[in-house]
């Protein structure tokens, strides 16, 4: 048993070492022994042809088939590797040489597949008697130029019986050059395409479901967040159709120029829609006004890029657009993190969603720039990341729906609960405290001489004073405490599980925080009254509120800018306090 394990371990280590050695980029000159021999009767399904083919860079793009198939250019080919075939952005033309040997007694037809569809110009030179048969296609030519009507490039090649054929391919593109060739016979190709169609059907089916769901919800609730989400999913989904080749095949097969122009347009429109969705779902104007303005700047830049797309060369525009995408995604993650800290509920799913897209985007861009090899995961990492992102964003929209349910209970100026929220929650917390025999304190807060403050400084400055009190409550009376704007310049804080002593400490913190929030002639102060329900001191929630309100009146009588607790130790109902006395 031990011997077999040792042998297996040594074998695994030897295999790993060979794998590393084979994967090293070695500029070996081509020779007649390099190529692929196809066994008679065996199915043909070769995913990666690197190592069995050669490549040649043509920096000026001036070489033709005669030049590359004869001396001296023919001797300049080097063995292709996974790293060397994932070229990325390049102005050069690239040639590939592939030798296929048919060991069968009959001619065989095989399909050479290039599965990255965004290649501007791709020519395949198939040897024939007296010359070359040229298969000339690319996404800069009409879709009808393809031998097989498929989103990828498929070239049917005929191999003579007991013969050897050498094929040449020429790549040139303003976008990334990604040489990824596979070889399949008819049966294997049909099976491969069937599996891929199922996978793409599931993918785009999910996108359509998200579109239908968000569209129907928008029609029902008329909330801008759902409309911007719909626009983002629609735009990004269409971009994915372009990126995978389906858009060229089914939407504009006779308009290759538009097919290349629309790609950066869709990317920039997706940025605008995503930013608008983010600003709406996270309420950035209220929580993070500076980042709100930065998002507007990014949207303007994207719209300028959209306007430039018809007039600027794709190769010139795509790199800054790529950089803009990365900056935008990182910005939106930062926006989500700050909103999450500020208390935004939808931000939880939002941050995870954009993190998933960022990971997929980074892998995809590294593949495009040639830093990581072309594999199924690196080629489709953006699509996978985007699908997870869109699903998670839909979950943040579900949280948004919960917010809409509570929006009628939210004060628009302070983002705290309003009078309706207070009236609903105080009885609930009062009953819970009695049931659990735990203390419940209530603070009633009033801005001192607010009418005079408004008369002296104006209503806009008065709003700032109200916001200052709300900010102090958000900072010092977080969950499970419940802070509400009761009305005008009066606030309330429900403090479950808090006794009288702790309520006094919190009230003093709030008073001090408000006083230090605004300085100079705009300084604002508050008076705070509080009462505590313990040992069934008050018979109802209304009596608890009246007690805290009476304590507030006492604080006003003591000269304002102070705190006061309810001193009625007999458990009797406190006398009601009129609005005139409270002011």
Instruction: Express each pLDDT in 422-434 by its tens digit.
Output: 999 999 999 999 9
Pick 16 or 516 by higher pLDDT. Answer: 516
> What is the C-alpha separation between 564 and 504, in angstroms, rounded?
8
Say yes or no to pLDDT of 26 above 50: no
Model-level pTM? Answer: 0.64
- Placement of tokens 């049909």 in the chain: 190
Give the Å distances, CA to CA, from 489 to 168, 178, 302, 417, 446. 80, 65, 43, 14, 6
Look at residue 18 in the predicted model and tell me its pLDDT. 31
As a whole number, mean pLDDT of residues 175-197 equals 93
As a whole number, mean pLDDT of residues 270-297 equals 91
Pick 8 or 158 by higher pLDDT. Answer: 158
pLDDT digits (tens, 9 = 90+) for 393-449: 888 787 777 766 666 788 888 889 899 899 999 999 999 999 999 999 999 999 999
Look at residue 370 in the predicted model and tell me its pLDDT. 64
pLDDT digits (tens, 9 = 90+) for 108-125: 999 999 988 999 999 999
Look at residue 5 in the predicted model and tell me its pLDDT. 35
As a whole number, mean pLDDT of residues 326-341 equals 88
Are 466 and 457 in contact, with CB atoms under 8 Å apart? no
As a whole number, mean pLDDT of residues 176-193 equals 93
Look at residue 442 in the predicted model and tell me its pLDDT. 96
Written as six digits, the tokens of 578 are 């009129």
As a whole number, mean pLDDT of residues 71-96 equals 90
Say yes or no to pLDDT of 16 above 70: no
Architecture of domain 195-407: Up-down Bundle (1.20)
- Residue 508 phi, psi dihedral angles, 5° rounding: -65, -40
CATH class as words, domain 419-582? alpha beta
> What is the C-alpha separation between 221 and 232, in angstroms, rounded?
18
Are 235 and 273 in contact, with CB atoms under 8 Å apart? yes
User: Is 22-184 in CATH node 1.20.140.150?
Assistant: no
Give, for 356, the enclosing helix (H) or strand (E): helix 347-368
% the chain with pLDDT above 70:
89
Look at residue 384 in the predicted model and tell me its pLDDT. 81
- Placement of tokens 């009409």 in the chain: 142
- Sequence-ordered strand ranges (E) for 103-225: 108-114, 121-128, 131-137, 153-159, 163-172, 176-178, 181-184
Domains 22-184 and 195-407 share a fold: no
Look at residue 20 in the predicted model and tell me its pLDDT. 33
pLDDT bin (cut points 50, 70, 90) of residue 1 is: very low
The three-state secondary structure class of 283 is coil
As a whole number, mean pLDDT of residues 74-90 equals 88
- Placement of tokens 């290039």 in the chain: 114
Say yes or no to pLDDT of 351 above 90: no
Count of alpha carbons within 13 angstroms of residue 24, beta-carbon side:
7
Written as six digits, the tokens of 389 are 């992102």
Look at residue 210 in the predicted model and tell me its pLDDT. 87
Q: What is the CA radius of gyration of the chain?
A: 35
Identity of the highest mean pLDDT range in 263-267, 352-356, 370-374: 263-267
As a whole number, mean pLDDT of residues 359-381 equals 73
Say yes or no to pLDDT of 155 above 50: yes
Say yes or no to pLDDT of 575 above 60: no
As a whole number, mean pLDDT of residues 139-149 equals 95
Average pLDDT, the chain: 86
Cis peptide, bond prior to residue 480, ω within 30 of zero: yes
> What is the C-alpha separation between 509 and 443, in angstroms, rounded?
12
Look at residue 407 in the predicted model and tell me its pLDDT. 67
Residues contacting residue 202 through CB under 8 Å, at least 6 positions apart: none
Say yes or no to pLDDT of 478 above 60: yes
Cis peptide, bond prior to residue 62, ω within 30 of zero: no
% the chain with pLDDT above 90:
56
Q: How far, rounded to the nearest angstrom, does the alpha carbon of residue 479 sit from its chain's CA centroid?
A: 29
Neighbours of 529 (CB within 10 A): 27
Any idea which of 324-333, 386-395, 506-515 has the lowest mean pLDDT?
386-395
pLDDT bin (cut points 50, 70, 90) of residue 553 is: very high
Pick 443 or 20 by higher pLDDT. Answer: 443
| Domain ranges for the chain | 22-184, 195-407, 419-582
As a whole number, mean pLDDT of residues 25-52 equals 71
Residues contacting residue 102 through CB under 8 Å, at least 6 positions apart: 38, 108, 159, 160, 161, 162, 163, 164, 165
């Amino acid at each position: 048993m031990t011997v077999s394990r040792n042998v297996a371990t040594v074998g695994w280590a030897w295999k790993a070492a060979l794998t590393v050695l084979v994967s090293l980029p070695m500029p070996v000159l081509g020779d007649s022994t390099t190529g692929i021999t196809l066994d008679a009767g065996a199915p043909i399904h070769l995913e990666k042809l690197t190592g069995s083919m050669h490549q040649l860079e043509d920096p000026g793009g001036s070489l033709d088939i005669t030049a590359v198939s004869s001396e001296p250019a023919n001797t300049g080919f080097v063995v292709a590797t996974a790293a060397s075939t994932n070229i990325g952005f390049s102005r050069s033309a690239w040639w590939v040489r592939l030798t296929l040997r048919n060991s069968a007694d009959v001619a065989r037809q095989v399909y050479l597949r290039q599965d990255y569809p965004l290649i501007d110009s791709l020519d395949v030179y198939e040897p024939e008697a007296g010359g070359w048969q040229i298969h000339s296609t690319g996404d800069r030519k009409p879709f009808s130029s393809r031998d097989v009507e498929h989103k990828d490039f498929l070239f049917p090649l005929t191999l003579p019986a007991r013969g050897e054929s050498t094929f040449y391919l020429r790549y040139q593109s303003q976008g990334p050059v990604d040489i990824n060739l596979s070889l399949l016979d008819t049966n294997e190709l049909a099976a491969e395409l069937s599996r891929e169609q199922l996978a793409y059907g599931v993918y785009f089916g999910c996108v359509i479901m998200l579109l239908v769901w968000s569209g129907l919800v928008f029609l029902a609730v008329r909330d801008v967040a759902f409309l911007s989400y719909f626009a983002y999913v629609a735009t990004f989904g269409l971009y994915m159709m372009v990126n995978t080749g389906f858009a060229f095949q089914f939407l504009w097969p006779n308009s290759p120029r538009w097919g290349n122009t629309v790609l950066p347009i869709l990317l920039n429109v997706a940025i605008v829609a995503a930013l608008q969705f983010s600003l709406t779902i996270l309420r950035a104007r209220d929580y993070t006004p500076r980042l709100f303005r930065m998002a507007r700047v990014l949207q303007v830049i994207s719209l300028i890029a959209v306007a430039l797309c018809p007039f600027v060369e794709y190769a010139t525009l795509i790199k800054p657009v790529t950089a803009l995408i990365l900056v935008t995604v990182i910005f939106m993650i930062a926006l989500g993190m700050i909103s999450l800290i500020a208390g935004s509920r939808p931000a939880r799913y939002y941050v995870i969603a954009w993190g998933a897209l960022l990971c997929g985007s980074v892998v995809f861009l590294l593949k495009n720039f040639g830093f990581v090899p072309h594999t199924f995961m690196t080629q489709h990492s953006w699509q996978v990341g985007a699908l997870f992102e869109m699903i998670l964003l839909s979950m943040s929209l579900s949280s948004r729906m919960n917010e809409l349910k509570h929006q009628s209970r939210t004060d628009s100026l302070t983002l705290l609960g309003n009078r309706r929220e207070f009236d609903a929650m105080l009885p609930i917390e009062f009953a819970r405290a009695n049931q659990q025999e735990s203390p419940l304190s209530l603070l009633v807060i009033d801005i001192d001489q607010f009418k005079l403050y408004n008369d002296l400084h104006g209503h806009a400055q008065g709003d700032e004073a109200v916001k200052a009190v709300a900010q102090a409550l958000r900072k010092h009376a977080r969950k499970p405490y419940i802070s509400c704007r009761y009305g005008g310049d009066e606030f309330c804080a429900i403090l479950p599980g808090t006794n009288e002593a702790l309520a006094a400490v919190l009230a003093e913190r709030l008073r001090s925080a408000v006083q230090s929030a605004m300085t100079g002639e705009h300084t604002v102060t508050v008076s705070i009254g509080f009462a505590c329900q313990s040992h069934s001191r008050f018979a109802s929630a209304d009596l608890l509120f009246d007690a805290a309100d009476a304590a507030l009146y006492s604080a006003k009588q003591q000269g304002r800018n102070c705190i006061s607790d309810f001193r009625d130790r007999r458990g009797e109902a406190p006398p009601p306090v009129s609005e005139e006395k409270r002011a």
